[in-house]
Amino acid sequence: MLQLNYIRENRDTVIERLAVKHFKEIGLVDEIISLDEDRRKIQSESDALSAEANAAAKQIGDLMRQGKKEEAETVKSKSSGYKEQVKQLLDQLGTIEAELNEKIVQLPNLPHQSVPAGVSAEDNEVVLSHGEIPALSEDALPHWELLNKYDIVDLELGVKVAGAGFPIYKGKGAKLQRALINFFLDQAAEEGYEEVQVPILVNEDSAFATGQLPDKEGQMYYVGNDNLYLIPTAEVPVTNIYRDEIVKEAQFPIKHCAYTPCFRREAGSYGAHVRGLNRLHQFDKVETVQLVHPEKSYEVLEEMSLYVQGLLQKLELPYRVLRLCGGDMSFTSALTYDMEVYSSAQKRWLEVSSVSNFETYQANRLKVRFKNADGKMQLAHTLNGSALALPRIVAAILENNQTEKGIKIPAVLVPYTKFEYID
């Protein structure tokens, strides 16, 4: 959530940066500023009236102690309406604050100055590419056919048990999944991330605090009887560990990683681009989250990007890094890098990670603060990154590593899988 004082003091900048995200409701900015002016005016009137009421009460007490009962009654008569007036002002204040909050949460985060002003994914900026794209034989198969050939993931059985988008991993497919999860967690530990196990259901406050509500309400699975949401990413419960907390500056950077299943409704997603493991309703992911000092957040963002790239290099997958344009960014992000791996049989790039800096946007909702060197309260910066999401990694490993002998497992995973080939 944007900070109210920043909106008030930097109106033109806010409007300019929102335009980069192609935000349609620009008029909200002036509505918020106007409501804030009304709020401050009523607050000032309420404070002044309360001060008069307190002064009158003190004067009445002094007069009564001096035995000047008649004078005290006169003052009391004049001040008798203060309490009701203050109540009316506070009622007005509550109404305005509720409307103000309703409008301010509709504003997305402001994009960083380096964000390209594009409209869609086609306008994202390729920052770098790494690795050679494998040259496969003409009879190379896409991963959804490899799943059947080697009987490692059953999509149809998943439909029977739950529905489309809920695959069942079997045999070496299940072991490959477990190997990737353990590999990613071990790598995160070496990088200084503390592992946590977190709930996969969160309450409304948690979903709001990290920006899933109200922006992504339709994309989450909702458990109505208990008013809980299945998490779309471990970012939500992990970041909420620090909701309403005052952390110590010396704790920065606070680094956590977590493995969880993730759930996304992905309503309206159809076609060949979502076939097989390309897009699922339930998938596994290892997430990294950092809370950092504001002065360090963009340095940390680059470090997190390099860390994810290192994982892809160890898996021997060709990849590229994109800086997302304004029109393709999430509601909450200030700057996002997407990592994509090349799927040789599909002949296209597949997103496998997003690494984002949210600056103070999430922290303002979370109310996660620290005391700076001057002893003043300041909002932390939050960042997160997929490290990594498994389905498309598995798809790329299967497609890029298919040989006459079978699917060759990347060397770094063999100690985890205990086998070198899926055959």
Binding-site members for L-serine are 233, 264, 287, 384
**Residue 21 to residue 327: CA distance in whole angstroms:** 5
DSSP string, 145-180: HHHHHTT-EEHHHHHHHT-TT--EE-HHHHHHHHHH
Q: With the CA atoms of 326, 327, 329 and 334 taken in that order, what torsion angle do they form, in degrees rounded to the nearest 10?
A: 20
Would you say 352 and 393 are in contact if contact means Cβ atoms under 8 Å apart? yes
**Residue 94 to residue 102: CA distance in whole angstroms:** 12
Buried b (16+ CB within 10 A) or exposed e, 219-241: ebeeeeeeebbbbbbbbbbbbbb
Which element (helix H / strand E) includes 186?
Answer: helix 171-190
Residues comprising the binding site for ATP?
A: 264-266, 351-354
335 forms beta bridges with 357
**Residue 95 to residue 416: CA distance in whole angstroms:** 58
Alpha helices, DSSP H only, in 319-378? Answer: 361-366
Tokens of 170: 């079997």
- Helices 27-65 and 11-20 cross at an angle (nearest 10°) of 140
Would you say 385 and 287 are in contact if contact means Cβ atoms under 8 Å apart? yes
DSSP string, 210-267: TT-TTTTGGGS-EEGGGTEEE-SSTHHHHHHTTTT-EE-GGGPSEEEEEEEEEE---T
Which element (helix H / strand E) includes 100?
Answer: helix 82-104
3-class state of residue 337 by DSSP: strand
Residues comprising the binding site?
A: 233, 264-266, 287, 351-354, 384
CA angle (285 as vertex; 321, 405 as ends), nearest 5: 80
Would you say 370 and 292 are in contact if contact means Cβ atoms under 8 Å apart? no
